Chain A
Amino acid sequence: MKTQKAATARVEITPPTGTPIAGNVRKDNKSRGVHDPLYCNILILDDDTTRVCMLGFDLIWLEEKVYMQLTQEIERETGIPVSNIIAWGTHTHSGPDTGLRMYGEPSDSVGKYLDNMIQAVTGGVKRANMSLQKVVLKVGKKEVAGLNFNRRLVKKDGSVVMNFEEFDTEDITGTTGPVDKELLTFSVWDKSDNLVAVLVNFTLHPAILVGYDWLISRDFINYLDEYILDRYDRRVVVLFANGAEGNINHLNYQDPDQGRNFEEAERIGKKLGEHVEESLKDSSLLDGRIRFVSEKVTFPLREITGDEKQWAEMVLERDKDLEEDQLDGIPDKTYARMIQEMSARKEKVCETVLQGMAVNNFALVTFPGEVYVEFGLKVKELSPYPYTMVIGLANSHIGYIPAKEAFSQGGYEVRTAWTSQLTVNAGDILVNLVNSRILAALLKQSVRVMERKASDNKYLHKDFHVSMNMLLTYIYDNFGRDALISYLVQFAGEYHKPLNEQLRAGNRDALVSYLKDKYEKEEWPVEISVSETEVEVSQQSCPAISHIVDKGEEPCPYYRETYNTVYKTICEGTPYEYVLEYFDESTGACRQVFRKREDKR
């Protein structure tokens, strides 16, 4: 099995009370306290060739500026290249407001929080990086029904309403798209088969709580985590990574009594925990190298239309005295403010990074924002890896990436804002980039093909000298010197029969050609002088002995017989006799003479 190593760490990143809470636009969004602490869960993987660092943050997401600052700091402190660091937000809507652009520049408290967080997480990675241990990797998956829902509902008149908005259940005919029911686990086990870490991938907005009671929380992830720690070991590090959750949340429109409180977060988290446990039990081994790909890519930005600019001006005037205050979604005034900010920018594209990792039949790919589930499912369908994780909200946040159809249907995710800034075909661009640049590159590493014709190469496998030496040694050790010589006589008698016949017929040139050809193929310097009565061969060393010694082996006793016996056998019954005039046992330097026998008649 390929050696795999891993290290883990868990760094608390709970913000101080009073820090604004992300994921909602309320007038007063300052946190009042902590329901459960937030973490950055760290997993470092290494296979002696590639080192990858995964960072799962209990945050709404990481802005590009923060991602760059963090990864550069980690690279400086640990040597793990920026390109090999995958950082994502779990997307809890009850964490600090790190979605900077959505609400303007960060407040002082968020800015200070981010600086401290970067230092703390870098320290955690640095410590983990020094404690890599040998591990076994496994992958598993389960289908999860009834926990995640497509949040875009279709009304009888064909219009679309979000499942967190007002609607009459009787008026709903279904949803605009599918859900991804797959839950995947990538787990790390120590040599004694104890769970060390698990990366859980499931597609679901952690927006059950949305700053419930103004308390900081990981949302349902807290309960999922607790479930696993209770079942296995409190030291296990659980990394939750969301999927393509752009249009997926927990709200079942057919259940009007569904709560949005800690009880509901607990119900969902524990249920997911049970599925994780089952997936871990059915996991299969991952053996092989870690393949990793990282690509910088760009996405075209949506142009702000004249109508949008006019609308923004109108709203800002109309709502100038209104506070921006809304739990789900975004108020008009906030949209209008963002449209004005966006129309002032000069950039036509936004830059981000896509990453992919594969081990054996498992792969993960990253999505840089909140992507509609349709695109996540498409990537899974295109992937040659049976276990493919799509990790959303990774590395930076470039906003929602909705399906094209959604733009004519309307709804929260398509309205132009910092959270929805890309062209309508961004989803197709993303799938194409992931498929052609990430999955294709991983596949190229995972599946290697070599095809050759005999004529493509020269026939020269020097290691055959080592094998030959082992054959000679075996015969000598087991049957003795005489047997060794008998074997060489047998070989030379059989193999060199045609040459022997040529020599018997007096064809000395056949011998000379044979010798020249042999040394030429060996690419070995030799002096061959030919006279009327003699063919003399002198060499400074033997190619066979040189290779055997180079490989740390010892030539077989009587190795000289591969000259002496073999050539004497070739000369048997011919007008030539063979004399090994000199032979250095350690180097094989020698002088050999094929001499015409004196005519005794």
Chain B
Amino acid sequence: MISCTEFIPAYSEGFKFIDKKKGRREVERFWRYLSDLYVKDRLGRLVAEEGLEGCFTYWSQALNEEAADFRMVFNGIKGEFRSEMRRCPSKGMLNSLKYMEPYRFYCDHCPALYGPVLQKYGFKYEKDMSKVDKASCSGVIKAG
């Protein structure tokens, strides 16, 4: 059994496996598959019910369960959701497993999974991925 606490390295190895089989485009196809099947039913449903605030509801559960080090702000006045991932539990775990090589585009899965779902509801997802090697990133979601 692959425990849910072992999922991150299994995920990264899955991306590597698919990439090796059919290249990066196939990995993106897989992310789209996950977005349509998994993210749409969860984040998508919440955004449909709550609007942009659904992002706060979704990530407040996910990031707490993943024990992330984060700060997120839903600003209903400005109409934006900002998240600052001070230490991403996924990338942080991969970085800590020194004996393993993470999938080199690992962090790209995040905008690939969430972007299309948010776009469907009229929101644009902008991510700053300049510090992902340090397991840190930030993002803004707003109408657009």
Residue of B nearest to A493 (CB): B13
Q: Which of B14, B72, B78, B121 contacts A491 (CB 8 A)?
A: B14
A2 touches B1 (CB 8 A): no
Given A385-B77, A521-B3: A475 and B17 interface contact (C-beta under 8 Å): yes
A498 touches B38 (CB 8 A): no
Of the stretches A199-207, A349-357, A449-457, the one at the interface is A449-457
The interface bits of chain B over 2-40 (1 if a CB of A lies within 8 angstroms of the residue's CB, else 0) are: 111111111101101110010000000010011001100
Interface of B is mostly: helix
Q: Which of B14, B34, B77 contacts A360 (CB 8 A)?
A: B77
Q: Which of A449, A459, A491, A563 contacts B5 (CB 8 A)?
A: A459
Name the interface residues of A51-98: CB closer than 8 Å to any CB of B: none
| Smallest CB separation, A194 vs chain B (Å) | 21
The interface bits of chain A over 1-25 (1 if a CB of B lies within 8 angstroms of the residue's CB, else 0) are: 1110000000000000000000000
A-B contact count (CB 8 A): 189
A455 cross-chain contacts in B, Cβ below 8 A:
67
A463 cross-chain contacts in B, Cβ below 8 A:
4, 42, 62, 65
Name the interface residues of A416-473: CB closer than 8 Å to any CB of B: 443, 445-468, 470-471
A445 cross-chain contacts in B, Cβ below 8 A:
76
Residue of B nearest to A491 (CB): B13
Q: Which of B13, B68, B73, B97 contacts A454 (CB 8 A)?
A: B68
A446 touches B76 (CB 8 A): yes
**In the bound complex, what is the Cα–Cα distance between A182 and B100 (angstroms)?**
63
**In the bound complex, what is the Cα–Cα distance between A451 and B97 (angstroms)?**
26
B49 touches A470 (CB 8 A): no
A460 touches B5 (CB 8 A): yes
Of the stretches A100-108, A222-230, A479-487, the one at the interface is A479-487
B21 touches A462 (CB 8 A): no
| Smallest CB separation, B26 vs chain A (Å) | 8
A509 cross-chain contacts in B, Cβ below 8 A:
none
B4 cross-chain contacts in A, Cβ below 8 A:
460-465, 468, 522, 543-544, 547
B17 cross-chain contacts in A, Cβ below 8 A:
475, 483, 486-487, 490-491
| Smallest CB separation, B99 vs chain A (Å) | 6
Given A459-B89, A544-B4: A288 and B34 interface contact (C-beta under 8 Å): no
**In the bound complex, what is the Cα–Cα distance between A490 and B89 (angstroms)?**
22
A468 cross-chain contacts in B, Cβ below 8 A:
2, 4, 7, 10-11
A1 touches B100 (CB 8 A): no
A1 touches B122 (CB 8 A): yes
A361 touches B77 (CB 8 A): yes
A287 touches B67 (CB 8 A): no
| Smallest CB separation, A46 vs chain B (Å) | 14
B122 cross-chain contacts in A, Cβ below 8 A:
1
A518 touches B67 (CB 8 A): no
**In the bound complex, what is the Cα–Cα distance between A448 and B54 (angstroms)?**
12
A288 touches B53 (CB 8 A): yes
Q: Which of B37, B60, B77, B100 contacts A495 (CB 8 A)?
A: B100
A527 within 8 A of B: no
B7 touches A464 (CB 8 A): yes
A566 touches B2 (CB 8 A): yes
Given A471-B11, A495-B100: A450 and B56 interface contact (C-beta under 8 Å): yes
The interface bits of chain A over 213-233 (1 if a CB of B lies within 8 angstroms of the residue's CB, else 0) are: 000000000000000000000
Q: Which of B18, B42, B73 contacts A449 (CB 8 A)?
A: B73
Q: Give the size category of A's interface with B.
A: 35 or more
A483 cross-chain contacts in B, Cβ below 8 A:
17, 21
Question: Which of B6, B30, B75, B78 has the most C-beta atoms of chain A within 10 angstroms of its own C-beta?
Answer: B6
Q: Which of A287, A462, A497 contacts B51 (CB 8 A)?
A: A287
Given A459-B67, A491-B14, A495-B6: A479 and B21 interface contact (C-beta under 8 Å): yes
Q: Which of B2, B42, B73, B76 contacts A562 (CB 8 A)?
A: B2
A542 within 8 A of B: yes
A407 within 8 A of B: no
A474 within 8 A of B: yes
B18 touches A544 (CB 8 A): no
Residue of B nearest to A471 (CB): B14
A494 within 8 A of B: yes
B10 touches A471 (CB 8 A): yes
B64 touches A457 (CB 8 A): yes
The interface bits of chain A over 384-395 (1 if a CB of B lies within 8 angstroms of the residue's CB, else 0) are: 111000000000
The interface bits of chain A over 537-550 (1 if a CB of B lies within 8 angstroms of the residue's CB, else 0) are: 00000111001000
**In the bound complex, what is the Cα–Cα distance between A466 and B41 (angstroms)?**
12
B79 touches A361 (CB 8 A): yes
A289 within 8 A of B: yes
B74 within 8 A of A: yes
A273 within 8 A of B: no
**In the bound complex, what is the Cα–Cα distance between A460 and B53 (angstroms)?**
24
Name the interface residues of A519-577: CB closer than 8 Å to any CB of B: 521-522, 542-544, 547, 562-563, 566
B18 touches A475 (CB 8 A): yes
Q: Which of B30, B69, B76 contacts A447 (CB 8 A)?
A: B76
Name the interface residues of B58-105: CB closer than 8 Å to any CB of A: 60, 62-79, 87, 89, 97, 99-100
A454 touches B87 (CB 8 A): yes
A124 within 8 A of B: no
A588 within 8 A of B: yes
A522 touches B5 (CB 8 A): yes
Residue of B nearest to A383 (CB): B77
B51 touches A361 (CB 8 A): no
Given A451-B71, A461-B65: A288 and B78 interface contact (C-beta under 8 Å): no
A452 touches B68 (CB 8 A): yes
**In the bound complex, what is the Cα–Cα distance between A522 and B2 (angstroms)?**
11
B70 touches A451 (CB 8 A): yes
B1 touches A542 (CB 8 A): yes
Q: 16 A-B pairs, CB-CB below 8 angstroms? A: A3-B48, A288-B76, A446-B76, A449-B72, A451-B72, A457-B68, A458-B67, A462-B4, A463-B65, A466-B38, A491-B9, A491-B10, A544-B2, A547-B4, A562-B1, A566-B2
Q: A288-B51, A454-B68 are in contact. List 8 more A-B contacts (CB 8 A).
A: A360-B79, A386-B77, A445-B76, A449-B71, A468-B2, A491-B17, A495-B13, A562-B2
Pick the 10 closest A-B CB pairs, nearest first: A2-B51, A464-B7, A461-B65, A446-B76, A464-B4, A459-B67, A457-B67, A491-B13, A451-B71, A471-B14
